[in-house]
Amino acid sequence: MDNEVEVSSAVEVAHLLRQLIKNRELLTVSFNQGRDSLRTMLLDADTSRGVLVFDGSGDPAVNRQIIAAAKHIFTGALLGAKVRFSGSGVKEVQYRGAPALAMKLPASIVRIQNRETFRVQTGGSAACHLPVPGRGSVKVPVNEISVGGVSLLLGHGEDAFTMGQRIAGCRIELGGLGTIACTLEVRSLKRTPTRKLGLGCRFVDLPRQSEALVARYVAQQERGGGAKSGLFGL
């Protein structure tokens, strides 16, 4: 299921644009009512002048078509979320001595996030009581979490797991929100530089009430800046 959110705060819009620039994300700008498009990259988001600068085409004829178009729709991805925004009034400019295109900063940006793949870092606020063969239930840190699964960090002697193994009887503490009971399926095993084991797991048939609690926790952590993208090597 996808979650579509429109960001309209000028500060947040500028932040997202600068992330796209910093990460050198490729975007598609569609024009002429979607009949034509160009792969481009954002170059600058000048909030003092309210101007967004982006790469044009190497073909002057294409640039003229873009400039003449009444509306432009930009689509791409950032941190695992699809992004979309629109603009108009494109002009040709010089940017750092080279030709480029520019328009007004968009008033809003739509983020379309796949809930299954959107994960957050817990900052140590979540833990998992994990049944370990021969050791009983061991409390281990939850490094990252999404409504699809968790990434755990295991120490020495806690790595008796195999790919595809299902671990029943797990309990995950979600900070002050509560605890869920779940079954985890191992989907990735990765050794860290400190020789600990990163265990990527997906939830197996997580009850709707528990999924809702995880979603609340993820949203809470996102507001705190812990958002990431992608599944845990699943």
Q: What would the pLDDT profile of 189-215 be if each residue is shown by its tens digit?
A: 887 777 678 888 989 988 988 988 888
> Within 13 Å of residue 233, how many CA atoms lie on the same side as its CB?
16
Domain that residue 165 falls in:
118-229
Domain edge (last residue) among 80, 114, 148: 114
Task: Report pLDDT for 203.
Answer: 92
Q: What CATH number is associated with residue 206?
A: 2.40.10.220
Establish if 234 belongs to a structural domain.
no
Same domain, 110 and 134: no
Give the pLDDT band (50/70/90) at residue 230.
very low
Domain edge (last residue) among 114, 148, 173: 114
Same domain, 103 and 128: no
Give Cα 173 to chain centroid, integer Å: 23
Task: Report pLDDT for 74.
Answer: 97
Q: What tokens were used for 173?
A: 């503490």
pLDDT at 64 over 60: yes
Q: What CATH number is associated with residue 51?
A: 2.30.110.10
Same domain, 75 and 136: no
Give the pLDDT band (50/70/90) at residue 174.
very high
Q: What would the pLDDT profile of 129-142 be if each residue is shown by its tens digit?
A: 999 877 888 899 99
pLDDT at 231 over 60: no
- The helix (run of H) or strand (run of E) holding residue 67 is helix 60-68
Same domain, 126 and 212: yes
Same domain, 104 and 161: no
Task: Report pLDDT for 97.
Answer: 93
Same domain, 179 and 98: no
Domain edge (last residue) among 114, 149, 166: 114
Same domain, 67 and 149: no
Other CB atoms within 10 Å distance of the CB of residue 127: 18
Question: What mean pLDDT is predicted for residues 154-162?
Answer: 70
The CA-atom distances, in angstroms, between 216 and each of 31, 55, 106, 154, 184 are: 38, 39, 29, 25, 20
Our count of domains for the chain comes to 2
CB 220 within 8 A of CB 212: no
Q: Which residue has the higher pLDDT, 209 or 118?
A: 209
Establish if 28 belongs to a structural domain.
yes
Establish if 53 belongs to a structural domain.
yes
Same domain, 101 and 136: no
Same domain, 196 and 216: yes
Same domain, 104 and 196: no
Same domain, 36 and 129: no
